[in-house]
Amino acid sequence: MSNIAIKVENLSKAYQLGQIGTGTISRDLERWYARIRGKEDPFLRIGENNNQNTKSESNVVWSLKDIDFEIDQGDAVGIIGRNGAGKSTLLKILSKVTAPTTGKISGKGRIASLLEVGTGFHPELSGRENIFLNGAILGMRKKEIQRKLDEIVDFAGIERYLDTPVKRYSSGMYVRLAFAVAAHLESEILIVDEVLAVGDAEFQKKCLGKMGEVSKGEGRTVLFVSHNMLAIRSFCKKAIFLKNGKVEEVGNVTQIISSYLNRTDKHIISFENEDFIAESIEILNKNNFIVETITNGERLRIKVRIRTKVNNPNMGFCIALYNETQELVTCINTFHINSFISDLEIGTHEFIVPFQEYILNEGRYHISLHLNSRQGTLYEIIENCYSFTVLDDDVRRGGIYRGEWPGAISLVPEIKIESI
């Protein structure tokens, strides 16, 4: 007997930008006739992919293209990739929220999904009524749902508001109830998107613990999408790396995370709005050379190049520096220098951010750039847009090379001895 929970074969999903219709009734009929025969849409162009940084002659975007993989029963699988890689589209297809353009999915068991906040809940119904509605959708009897009701309410912590319409819930309450319903009702497959980011840290930890219990203790299959590599690594054994709508790699979670973090598009970044264009990010050494390896005795500098399209642009940015296990080492943002940004004129500007020597531990580091308004409104997060390696400088360590030292940073203090 096969133990495969989900099998995806030649799966593709195309979206048409702009106007949805083909322009004529005859073409719409041809498209409909092809679909009922199980044939590919005759008006989709071949070869387009979901690369958001390039323009195309076609108005068709392949969010997913020729996806193939298998997931065994009881596996906890992380799905990782940059924004626009196709992660959420894949989960929607697996959850049967949307249909694939081509390909097929076969699987065993009922699927409980936690996708975008609000998916699967009726806003006019109370929390209690939505629990029974979700259970009914999964094919559960009323008595089965009633048996799980107390567990769900206790986990979500919303007993006081159980009979209040969910449209009055805060986003945090909504997510807590949605996760509790998805995790506790009797489904064989649990699909969780990045919505856990809405909850507080304590609830996220609680959710990860519950997903581990669901996967290891109950033998249910879990698919988990997250940008938090620590959560993926601690919870999942396997991972699927998506890039531009295609499967880049499948395998051991540690190996896949390392591959994902190190396959970055160096230097060039791409973001544009009415005020500015973000063009590049680089690591420079003391001689102004672009480098990808430094010693922790060097004073590195991060350079961000931005072209402003108006005087006094409404812009700011934050440089987030992560280590190899995706722990946040530090965050540097332009809120500290807003007075300078408000004086910028039309043209190209380079922001230089220096780092003190002997501050970073040996290891691999990754930079994400958060672009925002001066008021803090987030425009875009460009993940893992630059990676570099720091090597230990054994000279300041007394000539003894020890590699990576304990801790997130590696200070070499000037220790003074005073004899009394």
Domain boundary among 229, 262, 295: 262
Q: Are residues 61 and 36 in the same domain?
A: yes
CATH number at residue 312: 2.70.50.60
d(CA 112, CA 149): 16
Task: Give how many domains the chain has, as a whole number.
Answer: 2
Element (H, E) at 319: strand 316-322
Q: What is the largest CA-CA distance in the chain?
A: 97
Domain boundary among 203, 234, 262: 262
Whether residue 400 is contained in a domain is answered as no
d(CA 13, CA 242): 14
Say if residues 166 and 89 touch (Cβ distance below 8 Å): no
Q: Tens-digit pLDDT profile for the chain (420 aa)?
A: 468 888 898 888 887 765 555 556 676 677 777 777 766 666 555 444 455 544 445 567 788 888 899 998 888 899 988 777 888 888 888 888 888 888 888 877 778 777 765 567 888 999 899 889 888 877 778 888 888 899 888 888 888 889 999 888 887 788 888 888 878 877 788 888 876 655 666 777 777 788 878 777 778 888 888 877 767 877 788 999 988 888 888 988 888 887 777 665 556 677 888 999 998 888 888 788 887 778 777 788 888 999 999 998 888 898 998 887 778 888 888 876 655 566 788 999 988 888 877 788 888 888 889 998 888 788 888 888 888 888 776 555 555 555 566 676 766 667 777 788
Q: Are residues 199 and 65 in the same domain?
A: yes
The count of other CB atoms within 10 Å of the CB of residue 286 is 12
d(CA 10, CA 2): 20
Q: Are residues 231 and 273 in the same domain?
A: no
Whether residue 143 is contained in a domain is answered as no
Whether residue 115 is contained in a domain is answered as no
Q: What per-residue string of b and e applies to 313-325 under the rule 16 or more CB within 10 Å gives b?
A: bbbbbbbbbbbbe
d(CA 198, CA 203): 10
Q: Are residues 296 and 379 in the same domain?
A: yes
Q: Are residues 319 and 376 in the same domain?
A: yes
pLDDT at 47: 45
Whether residue 365 is contained in a domain is answered as yes
d(CA 349, CA 343): 12
Interaxial angle between packed helices 127-137 and 171-184, expressed in degrees from 0 to 180 and rounded to the nearest 10: 40
Q: Are residues 285 and 371 in the same domain?
A: yes
Q: Are residues 284 and 214 in the same domain?
A: no
Q: Are residues 195 and 255 in the same domain?
A: yes
Q: Which domain holds residue 82?
A: 4-109+188-262
CATH number at residue 93: 3.40.50.300
pLDDT at 46: 44
Q: What spatial distance separates the first Cα and last Cα of the chain, rounded to whole Å?
A: 78
pLDDT at 1: 43
